[in-house]
Amino acid sequence: MKGFYTILLLVVSNVFMTFAWYGHLKMKQEYSWFAALPLIGVIAFSWAIAFFEYK
């Protein structure tokens, strides 16, 4: 049963990350301020999302 939970969590994580990636691409197209961010800004933005996700 422990193996089943591991596989289930991997699938859920993969689905979440897929939606996050496509959301990032859509956000980049719709919001000019996001597209203008330098690399460090994008990294800080993604870390902020992860921080609140795991808090």
| Amino acid identity, position 28 | K
pLDDT recorded at residue 35: 75
pLDDT recorded at residue 36: 83
pLDDT recorded at residue 32: 80
Provide the residue-wise pLDDT of the chain in tens; the chain has 55 residues: 888 989 998 998 888 888 877 877 777 788 787 778 888 887 888 788 778 767 6
pLDDT recorded at residue 3: 86
| Amino acid identity, position 27 | M
CB 34 within 8 A of CB 27: yes
Nearest to 2 by CA among 53, 10, 17: 10
CA distances from 51 to 4, 6, 8 (A): 27, 22, 23
pLDDT recorded at residue 55: 60
CB 45 within 8 A of CB 53: no
